[in-house]
Chains A and B, each alone.
Chain A
Amino acid sequence: MSDLAISEPVEATVKDYFTLLKPKVMSLVVFTGFAGMWVAPGFSSMHPVIAATAILCIAIGAGAAGAINMWYDRDIDAVMKRTKNRPIPLGRVNPDEALSFGVILSLFSVMTMGVAVNWTAAALLGFANLFYVFVYTMWLKRRTPQNIVIGGAAGAFPPMIGWAAVTGDITSASIVLFCIIFFWTPPHFWALSLFANEDYKRANIPMLPVVAGERTTKIQMLFYSLLLVPLSVAPYTLGIAGLGYGIFAFALSVFFLFTNFRVLVDKTDKSARLMFGYSVFYLFALFAALMIDKV
């Protein structure tokens, strides 16, 4: 008993465990997941307790994946400026406890989603968690500059899970919502890595600007930004959203493309910082517009 007490360096607080859930990432996941529910047919007749349970499961599922990610990446987190103050590198949370915390919450969220909401949403939530942990964190992140392209799929699942929580199925509409986030992720993360690549270099993470150079990264970003123009308008063309949304999404995406062009011609990292900031606003505004359109 006393050995156990001695081996624990610092007492973890509830806040430390909350930090393990990556609350900022969780908030974006909850927002896009809720948007997926909101636009799905039949949301208005869904019982509010079941709807709230679905959102809770999406939030806890995302947080659990974040905690497992922090357990696995504790070595690189300790050397990156951006992540060195996380609870595990600081020694506030024992790595084994972080892992069990993540695994238990992940199982809890998937099982609760299945029992309380439906098993399609539960299966998607479970798959997204497994994909984030095994495919992105353990397999791709340290091996290939395409890490965030393929791994980005994990972050694209929430609106699809939200949609499935309401309807119990996967349709072309929810696949389009998935695709919007999937193709938004590479320009968003590469804009970040253009001005934060020192951190990635130090941690030996093969981000595209580190491996292939800035010029190649900027050109590849442009392809994804171009694809986002028709994709963002697709909810209108598919009849999920109205003309107002279509015009707004088109304008937002054209401006996104414009910020990408500025990154391409700018030799400093100022435009990349602006583009990164705009990319967060872009995704938020796009999903907010989808929700407003449905009112």
Chain B
Amino acid sequence: MPLSDIHKRKRAKNFMILAAIVGWIALIWIVTMIKIVNHA
């Protein structure tokens, strides 16, 4: 897909949203592991 101006201008924000989603998945995974270990 060709990169338009809006892609370039919103790059930082989009990367932040991506990082937030990845961070959230990591957090839920870590907490799930903690809960499994604590209840084992």
Contacts and interface: CB of A to CB of B under 8 A. Distances in A.
Interface of A: 1, 4-5, 11-12, 14, 47, 49-50, 53, 108, 112, 115-116
Contacts of B6: 1, 4-5
Given A112-B28, A116-B27, A47 B9 contact: no
Main secondary structure of the interface of B (DSSP, over half): helix
Interface in B1-40: 4-6, 9, 12-13, 16, 24, 27-28, 30-31, 34, 38
Given A1-B4, A4-B6, A5-B5, A112 B27 contact: yes
Interface of B: 4-6, 9, 12-13, 16, 24, 27-28, 30-31, 34, 38
A148 B19 CA distance: 37
A49 B35 CA distance: 11
A51 to B, nearest CB: 11
B18 to A, nearest CB: 14
A115 B24 CA distance: 12
Contact of A116 (B9, B13, B31): B31
A3 to B, nearest CB: 11
Contacts of B12: 14
Contacts of A14: 12-13, 16
Nearest to A47: B34
Contact of B38 (A1, A11, A47, A116): A47
A49 B5 contact: no
B5 A116 contact: no
29 contacts: A1-B4, A1-B6, A4-B6, A5-B5, A5-B6, A5-B9, A11-B9, A12-B13, A14-B12, A14-B13, A14-B16, A47-B34, A47-B38, A49-B30, A49-B31, A49-B34, A50-B31, A50-B34, A53-B27, A53-B31, A108-B24, A112-B24, A112-B27, A112-B28, A115-B28, A115-B31, A116-B27, A116-B28, A116-B31
Contacts of A50: 31, 34
Contacts of B9: 5, 11
Nearest to A48: B34
B22 to A, nearest CB: 14
B3 to A, nearest CB: 12
Contacts of A5: 5-6, 9
A140 B28 CA distance: 37
A4 B10 CA distance: 12
Contacts of A108: 24
A280 B34 CA distance: 37
Contacts of B34: 47, 49-50
A14 B28 CA distance: 24
A231 B30 CA distance: 40
Nearest to B5: A5
